[in-house]
Amino acid sequence: MIDYSVGDWIGKIGNFWLTLLVVLTYGLFMGAIIDRTIAKVQGRIGIPYSQPFINVLKNFFKRTAISHGVMFYLAPVFRLAGGIGTLAFIPVIYGSETFSNFSMSGDLFLVIYFMFFGQLGMALGAGESGHPYATIGIARGLSQMTAYEVPFALAVISIVIQYDTLSITEIVAAQQGGWQNWTVITNWVATLAAMLAFLGMAGYSPFDVHLAPQEIPIGPPTEFHSSYLSLMQLNRALFGATKLILFMNLFFGGATGLLELMLKTWMIYMVAIIIGVAFPRFRVDQTIRFFFKIPTLIGIMSIIYVQMVLTS
């Protein structure tokens, strides 16, 4: 590890704040783009591009906010900390000093742990809100998360064996030099398992039973309002964009510029959207059975594929 001086650290932290701002703005903006895309499918015009920003501000400007206890206060903070923490260790743009964040050897492990952090904080907070639907939503959400983490972890293990490194920067570096070097081509089995897990992560149909607005009014965030909700909306935008950037880095060759980043992440997101508008919602038991069957098997196959074909 290189020794950084105090000035370097200040510079790195300053760069991270810039990255955070860019990714947050892009995440909110992408929410509007996706909403408008769905609206076009349904023959509507859709929300204005500024709508996600106005929603966050409106909730921030609410005059009253009530609390259900300490954990209720902390849940949105934990959630946002999970989003920021995940972003902090992912290099956003390959080869850019400004957007490389705190990427280091072994950051892939840290990122996978951090992705859980926000959800667990949310689980505690929603539990303290005392709303029965929030508890049901949490139970469903956590079991679904347990299920989709298995194929995702298997896919990550597979590409870790393939590139023989735990550093996201090195994984991106190994995929440079044309689309034929991307993991989606060289290790398509792992990519398939990870993209199936991504459907569960994205929270669109058929895997949105933990939110399910029509049956358990939006699940875990039922009781969250005003500035709590505004923090959670910020995290939704930030974490959504961060997950896409992680997938882009691991499987689709990373990005060398902001425009490439926007195009690639939008296309990865469209996979979840297209499947989301075409399929009805799964029950929670169907979701878990699905993830433990096909994507997990594909994940195991990807490790065998890497061992037998790529590294032999």
Partner 1 sequence: MIKSLSTEDTLENSGLTEEEQLLFSNARPKAYEPYPIKAVEDFANWCRANSLWILAFGTGCGAIELRPLMTARFDASRFGMAGRPTPRQSSVFIIGGYASVKTLKRIIRSYEQMQGPKFVIALGICPINGGMYFDSYNTINRFDQYIPVDLYITGCMPRPEVLVAGLMELQNKIKAGECDGANRYVENFDWYKTNQKKVIKKWDMPDYNW
Contacts with partner 1 by CB under 8 A lie at 35, 39, 42-48, 51, 54-55, 57-59, 61-66, 213-214, 217-218, 221-226, 229
Nearest-approach distance from CB 16 to partner 1, in angstroms: 28
Nearest-approach distance from CB 234 to partner 1, in angstroms: 15
How many whole angstroms separate alpha carbon 23 and alpha carbon 17? Answer: 10
Structure tokens, 301? 């196959």
How many whole angstroms separate alpha carbon 270 and alpha carbon 33? Answer: 11
Structure tokens, 249? 């880095």
CA dihedral 12, 17, 23, 27 (to 10 degrees): 160
Residue (214 or 312) nearer to partner 1, CB: 214
Nearest-approach distance from CB 216 to partner 1, in angstroms: 9
Phi-psi category of 282—alpha, beta or left, where left has phi over 0 and alpha has psi -120 to 50? beta
Nearest-approach distance from CB 54 to partner 1, in angstroms: 5
Residue (169 or 222) nearer to partner 1, CB: 222
**C-alpha 164: how far from its chain's center?**
24
Residue (47 or 150) nearer to partner 1, CB: 47
Residue (33 or 65) nearer to partner 1, CB: 65
Which run of H or E residues covers position 179?
Answer: none
Residue (55 or 256) nearer to partner 1, CB: 55
The DSSP-derived string for 79-126 is: HHHHHHHHHHTS-SSTT-STT-TT--TTHHHHHHHHHHHHHHHHHHHH
